[in-house]
């Protein structure tokens, strides 16, 4: 029996997902239907036995990504949402698939098939994966190799103001206003960087909290980030969906 937990704050959507699972996968047992970030953190804090999680991204009290930052969860996650802008974040939080609402049963079945294939693969590599994860989590990254012209430079992360995409390239700007090219995309950088120091504010930018002067309302529901390096002249806007997470990140720094 495959044990699952559903995180969904819309009761109708939650019940619909339970019914769909019962129809297409009788071997899947729903152990809990959680409705908020707080409830989910409390539930997973007791380390329940869970094989796979189905989670909405936007909950009443925040994004479900906050759950995975607060509690260590090893189970793979299939994220569901009405928006596709959170896709990159999803795959840094145990995500193995990303389904848009309303969830199609065929796509749901394909997500379960993907889980079963991955389960067989990783079960044979569990020990190696655990050693790799432990090594990666214990070694804190302090530098990043970037390129400027034909030269490769080892740049201190503390000196990096922001990362941004432009013309399909990822650029790095340091505290002196110098511009470099990164070899990693923003999604990879988001995963490897210290989340207490760097924040992915939108699809284009990752910013260093040490160089943020503050923020202010923009177009009523958005936020405009102000750097303490105004000469860099970057217009960094945070969407309504990400603004709550950004404010929490700033206050908890």
**17 or 85: which carries more pLDDT confidence?**
17
* pLDDT, mean of residues 133-145: 63
Contact (CB, 8 A) for 21 and 30: yes
Whether 246 shows a pLDDT value over 70: the answer reads yes
What is the model's pLDDT at position 91?
A: 58
* pLDDT, mean of residues 26-37: 95
pLDDT, averaged across the chain = 86
Residues in the chain: 253
pTM beyond 0.75: the answer is: no
What is the model's pLDDT at position 122?
A: 55
Whether 34 shows a pLDDT value over 50: the answer reads yes
Whether 136 shows a pLDDT value over 50: the answer reads no
What is the model's pLDDT at position 74?
A: 86
What would the pLDDT profile of 178-188 be if each residue is shown by its tens digit?
A: 999 998 899 88
Please report the domains of the chain, with CATH numbers, ordered by start residue: 2-136 (3.40.50.2300), 143-252 (2.40.50.1020)
In the structure, what pLDDT confidence band is assigned to residue 126 with cuts at 50, 70 and 90? Answer: very low
Cα distance between the two ends of the chain: 42
In this structure, are strands 222-227 and 212-218 parallel, antiparallel, or unpaired? antiparallel
What is the model's pLDDT at position 188?
A: 86
Q: In what order do the strands lie in the sheet with 236-238?
A: 212-218, 222-227, 236-238
């Amino acid at each position: 029996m495959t044990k699952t937990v559903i995180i969904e704050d819309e009761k109708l959507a939650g019940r619909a997902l339970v019914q769909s699972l019962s129809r297409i996968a009788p071997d899947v047992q729903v152990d809990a239907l959680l409705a908020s970030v707080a409830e989910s953190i409390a539930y997973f804090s007791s380390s329940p036995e869970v094989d796979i999680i189905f989670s909405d991204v936007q909950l009443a009290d925040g994004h479900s990504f906050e759950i995975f930052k607060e509690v260590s969860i090893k189970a793979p996650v299939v994220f569901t949402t009405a928006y596709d802008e959170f896709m990159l974040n999803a795959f840094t939080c145990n995500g193995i698939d990303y389904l848009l609402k309303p969830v199609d049963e065929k796509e749901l079945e394909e997500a379960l098939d993907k889980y079963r294939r991955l389960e067989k693969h990783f079960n044979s590599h569990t020990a190696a994966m655990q050693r790799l994860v432990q090594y990666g989590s214990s070694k804190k990254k302090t530098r990043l190799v970037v390129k400027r012209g034909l030269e490769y430079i080892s740049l201190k992360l503390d000196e990096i103001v922001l990362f941004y995409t432009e013309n399909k390239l990822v650029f790095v700007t340091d505290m002196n206003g110098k511009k470099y090219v990164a070899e990693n995309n923003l999604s990879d950088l988001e995963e490897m960087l210290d989340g207490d120091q760097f924040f992915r504010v939108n699809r284009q930018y990752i910013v260093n909290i040490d160089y943020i002067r503050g923020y202010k309302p923009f177009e009523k529901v958005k936020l405009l980030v102000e750097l303490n390096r105004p000469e860099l002249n970057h217009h960094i806007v945070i969407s309504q969906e990400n603004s709550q997470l950004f404010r929490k990140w700033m206050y908890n720094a």
